[in-house]
Amino acid sequence: MASNVKNNKKFDDFVISGERSQQITKIEHESGGWTFFKHLYSSAMFRLLLLNILMILFLAPAVVVIFLASSQLTALSSNLPYSSTFGLGIMPWFGIEPYLQQSTLEISTKMYLWLFLAIPVATIGFSGGFAVIRDSYWTGKLRIFKSFGNGICQGALPFLPFTIFFPAALFGLFHMNNALASSPDWLVIVINVVAWIVVFVVMMFGFLFLAVSLLYKQGVAKNFADTCKLFVRYFFGNVMTFVFVILPVVLLYVINSSFVTTFVLTLMFMFGMIYIGLIWMIHVMRICKHHAR
């Protein structure tokens, strides 16, 4: 009895109210992400794939921008005058290095500027998709379009600043590394590690804020305040969960293998966005229930 009183006091420092489940028949779930995924896959496989594709469509503009820029950089390098007679690499075009640097800078700058428009479009996909997962976890049934539309209305605007921050951070990191080109390698590594940690923490907070906004109708200021408290209270759990959320994307950049890349891309196309939504939303639902009234 004493332990129950102690546990109740632990979660009495702030209260989250106004859950958005009042209009639906809610079924309490205690299953984890994998168990719930198997339930959805067995009961609504085609709708699950449809939801994943729908969310990916809103990521497509950013993917297209990055792909076109990468293609331009590859074509630029392959079309430069280069001779390898007798095994000696010779660039007969004097001034080719400044030209290459300037062209790379122009292509990259255009890519990042376009990403300022393309990445925020993903706000729609995350907001709508996370809301579908929220409702399916509450009801045990996967219904897409109504929940998707509700999610856009409930979460897109609060999450928008974070999807604008991300391309801004990428743009800043790109120019920062250009400015540090003549600096010692150790200094460049330290600054980049610190900068990426900041980006990671800000985006983790943004995803937490999105989930809270989708779960509770309290107003932006109250949801933001509660997100700050949840962010600090469950910091290590949030970090570990977010690491698992972004793990497939990290693998695409870290592992230099065409087979692994193709395999991961295939899984991402089939279930990647569902994977992100299930892990993150179930995690946030579980930590919020301790404070919900």
Structure confidence at residue 182 (pLDDT): 82
> Phi and psi (nearest 5°) for 257?
-145, 125
**238 — pLDDT class (breaks 50, 70, 90):** very high
Give the C-alpha distances (Å, rounded to integers) separating 203 from 167, 197, 213, 242, 267. Answer: 11, 10, 15, 9, 23
Span 64-72, average pLDDT = 88
119, part of any domain: yes
70-88: per-residue pLDDT in tens? 888 888 767 665 544 444 4
124, part of any domain: yes
Structure confidence at residue 5 (pLDDT): 41
Rounded CA separation 200/242 (Å): 9
Domain that holds residue 117: 31-288
203, part of any domain: yes
Instruction: Decide if 209 contacts 227 (C-beta within 8 A).
Output: yes
> Phi and psi (nearest 5°) for 83?
-125, 140
Structure confidence at residue 210 (pLDDT): 96
Rounded CA separation 179/174 (Å): 9
- What are the beta bridge partners of residue 16? 292
Instruction: Decide if 280 contacts 155 (C-beta within 8 A).
Output: no
CA angle 227, 289, 204 (to 5 degrees): 30
**3 — pLDDT class (breaks 50, 70, 90):** very low
**281 — pLDDT class (breaks 50, 70, 90):** very high
Where is pLDDT greater, at 39 or 240?
240
Counted domains in the chain:
1
77-131: per-residue pLDDT in tens? 676 655 444 444 544 555 566 777 788 888 888 999 999 999 999 999 999 999 9
| Amino acid found at 134 | R
238, part of any domain: yes
Structure confidence at residue 85 (pLDDT): 47
> To the nearest whole number, what is the mean pLDDT of the chain?
83
171-210: per-residue pLDDT in tens? 999 989 888 878 888 998 999 999 999 999 999 999 999 9
257, part of any domain: yes
12, part of any domain: no
6, part of any domain: no
165, part of any domain: yes
